């Protein structure tokens, strides 16, 4: 089932399958990718309790192997809706037999969407109901149209940082490269993704903006509580999407979830809220 939040200018649609955003419109203009089976069959799946993969396909806990797929297990789960209003939606998932088979913890994951003017606030409330410490990460695998405007030149699109940045990008397969060097603009082209995801961490900027040189529309992501960003697209020029993924943690080669860089750990009975914000706006209005 799909739920719609709206105010005077912004319309957000969220599916109970994976609690993922499926549409984000400003005055009728769509920002998000339309899924297809050829390139990417989702829009903005939520990532929990990991982002990325285990290189061996499994992790160990208490000397037992647990096999977990790419980006965790909640994107394939139906969430319940606990609260809804014109501009607010809270979606909740608890452990079940399927999750316990790959993640042996009792938990609650609540994802909260709220519209405020041109802003979409997204929060993750994570609670540990287990009798042991629980490692976790959260994030969003959000795919935007590329180009945002039909028939626009995709090579005129870029990420713009609030402040000049020097960032190195990396992948879980050990590949690293310079991503941006003392600049605010990172041009985008499909060849950038020949080696896969371009992840980076700890930017100085309060926000990262995605737009095109000739495009009136832009989206800004404020992600200071989520220190990693995975920037992914396919090198195929016919794949008209680019993903800008804020996340708490990232892939690593450690044998346990605790070994993953950036992972958070909740003690029994504790909870934590982690948030980020999207701003959509028209540059010429």
Which residues share a beta bridge with 143? 243
Q: Which pLDDT does position 263 carry in this prediction? A: 95
CA 172 to chain centre: 17
Take residue 267 and report the two structure tokens written for it: 């003690």
C-alpha distances in Å from residue 230, one per residue of 69, 71, 133: 17, 12, 27
In tens, the pLDDT along 164-177 reads: 999 999 987 788 99
8 A C-beta contact, residue 266 and residue 258: no
8 A C-beta contact, residue 212 and residue 155: no
Q: Please tell me the distance from the alpha carbon of residue 68 to that of residue 116, in angstroms, as a whole number.
A: 36
When pLDDT is averaged across residues 83-112 and rounded to a whole number, the result is 96
Q: What is the CATH number of the domain that holds 54?
A: 2.70.98.10
* Per-residue pLDDT at 225 exceeds 90: yes
When pLDDT is averaged across residues 88-98 and rounded to a whole number, the result is 97
Domains of the chain: total:
1
Q: Is the peptide bond before 282 cis (omega within 30 degrees of 0)?
A: no
Q: Which pLDDT does position 285 carry in this prediction? A: 64
Q: Which domain holds residue 119?
A: 2-282
Q: What is the pTM of this model?
A: 0.96
In tens, the pLDDT along 254-265 reads: 789 999 999 999
Q: Identify the weakest region by mean pLDDT among 18-22, 93-97, 259-263.
A: 259-263
* Per-residue pLDDT at 72 exceeds 90: yes
In tens, the pLDDT along 142-156 reads: 999 999 999 999 999
């Amino acid at each position: 089932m799909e739920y719609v939040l709206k105010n005077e200018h912004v319309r957000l649609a969220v599916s109970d399958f994976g609690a993922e955003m499926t549409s984000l419109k400003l005055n009728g203009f769509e920002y998000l990718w339309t899924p297809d089976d050829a390139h990417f069959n989702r829009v903005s799946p939520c990532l929990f309790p990991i982002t990325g993969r285990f290189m061996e396909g499994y992790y160990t806990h208490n000397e037992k192997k647990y096999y977990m797929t790419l980006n965790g297990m909640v994107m394939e789960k139906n969430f319940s809706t606990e609260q809804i209003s014109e501009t607010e939606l809270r979606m909740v998932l608890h452990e079940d037999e399927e999750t316990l088979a790959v993640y042996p913890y009792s938990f609650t994951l609540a994802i909260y969407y709220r519209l405020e003017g041109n802003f979409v606030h997204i929060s993750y409330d994570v609670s540990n109901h287990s009798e042991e410490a629980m490692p976790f990460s959260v994030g969003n695998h959000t795919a935007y149209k590329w180009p945002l405007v039909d028939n626009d030149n995709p090579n005129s699109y870029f990420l713009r940082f609030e402040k000049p940045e020097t960032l190195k990008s990396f992948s879980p397969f050990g590949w690293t490269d310079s991503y941006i060097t003392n600049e605010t603009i990172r041009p985008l082209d499909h060849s950038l993704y020949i080696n896969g995801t371009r992840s980076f961490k700890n930017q100085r900027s309060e926000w990262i903006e995605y737009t095109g040189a000739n495009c009136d529309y832009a989206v800004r992501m404020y992600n200071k509580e989520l220190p990693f960003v995975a920037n992914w697209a396919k090198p195929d020029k016919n794949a008209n999407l680019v993903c800008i993924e804020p996340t708490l943690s990232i892939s690593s080669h450690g044998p346990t979830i605790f070994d993953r860089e950036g992972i958070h750990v909740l003690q029994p009975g504790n909870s934590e809220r982690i948030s980020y914000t999207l701003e959509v706006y028209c540059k010429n209005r």
